[in-house]
Structure 1
Amino acid sequence: MIKIIDISNSKHAEDVLHIQIPSYMVEAEIIGSYDLPPLKDTVYTLQHCEESFIGYYEKEELCGAISIKVVDDAVDIHRLIVHPNHFRKGIAQILFNFIESKFRGKTIKVATGSKNAPAVSFYKKNGFQNIKETKVNEQLSLTFFEKKL
């Protein structure tokens, strides 16, 4: 079930962190860089990030989440996370489809680690175009994608 997450609620922010940290640890292992900002998040930083969070729940358990910021005609996906215990269940696709259905006529933007093959593949499969790649440091480059709805 898809539900809006009230990230200002400390318990909800903790729930997001409990899926975000393991999810980004997998990405860090894939790309070979553990210096990812989401691995440094706290309840406080999540509550003050000004993103809107949507969660995917099985029973009462938060299994995945997506966070966005909407500015003018653009929807910027900041996080698309699934707890590793729930990988390969289609949860990221369900969350993405939810966002896509709510923002017809907008442009969706997202960035991911260039070496994160599963994420790159996911965005390409969903019709995103590679816009640019930026080298952050020796270990990390980001690929930026866009999709016009």
Structure 2
Amino acid sequence: MIALLKIDNQKIAEEILHVQLPAYGVEANLMNFHDIPPLHDTVDSILGSEETFYGYWKEGKLAGVISVEENKQHLQICRLVVHPAYFRQGIGKQLVQFIFETYKHIHRFVVSTGEQNVPAIKLYGTFGFKEFNKIEISANIFIICLEKIYS
């Protein structure tokens, strides 16, 4: 089940971190770069976030999280994380699909991920996301920016 997460609740913020930190730990290992900003998030930074969070609940546990920010130009997928214990169960795909269904009025969706994060790139590719930018964040460490445009 996917539901809106109220991030003004400390327990929910803690649960988000319980999913986010190990998930981004996997991405950090794929990138061989352990200074990914979400790895530095705290309960307080989650509580203070302007993002809208949705969670995927499985058997009473938060298994995945997606957060977004909407502006006049596009919807930014800020984070998509699945706890490693729930990898390869289609949770990430369901969360992205949920965002498309929830934000039907949006014509451009944007997301970024590590260039070495092949599973994420493949997932976004199945939804028609295409690379439009590449940013070097450290020596030979790149983030790619992907977009999906509906006409």
Q: Same fold (TM over 0.5)?
A: yes
1:24: Cα distance to partner? 0.3
Partners of 1:140 and 1:79 lie apart in 2 by 19
1:77-96 → structure 2 map (5 Å cutoff)? 77-96=77-96
**Over residues 64-104 of structure 1, what are the superposed CA-to-partner deviations in whole Å (9 max), with x where a residue is unaligned?**
01000010141100000000000000000010000001122
1:51: Cα distance to partner? 0.3
Partner of 2:109: 108
1:139: Cα distance to partner? 4.4
**Over residues 29-55 of structure 1, what are the superposed CA-to-partner deviations in whole Å (9 max), with x where a residue is unaligned?**
001000000000000001112000000
1:121: Cα distance to partner? 1.2
Equivalent pair of 1:105/1:148 in contact (CA under 8 Å): no
Equivalent pair of 1:33/1:139 in contact (CA under 8 Å): no
Look up the equivalent residue of 2:30 and give its one-letter code: I
Look up the equivalent residue of 2:4 and give its one-letter code: I
Partner of 2:15: 15
Partner of 2:122: 121
Q: Please, what is the CA RMSD of the aligned residues?
A: 1.0
Partner of 1:4: 4
Which 5+ residue runs of structure 2 have no aligned equivalent? none
Structure 1 stretch 52-61 or stretch 79-88: which is displaced more?
52-61
1:1-149 → structure 2 map (5 Å cutoff)? 1-106=1-106, 107-149=108-150
Percent identity over the alignment is: 37
- How many residue pairs get matched? 149
Q: Is the partner of 2:138 in helix, strand or coil?
A: coil
Look up the equivalent residue of 1:78 and give its one-letter code: C
Which 5+ residue runs of structure 1 have no aligned equivalent? none
Q: TM-score, normalising length from structure 1? A: 0.97
1:59: Cα distance to partner? 2.5
1:15: Cα distance to partner? 0.2
Partners of 2:7 and 2:103 lie apart in 1 by 21
Give every structure 1 segment of 4 or more consecutive aligned residues whose post-TM-superposition deviation is greater than 3 Å. none
Q: Is the partner of 1:3 in helix, strand or coil?
A: strand
Look up the equivalent residue of 1:22 and give its one-letter code: P
Partners of 1:5 and 1:57 lie apart in 2 by 11
Look up the equivalent residue of 1:115 and give its one-letter code: Q
Partners of 2:83 and 2:140 lie apart in 1 by 24
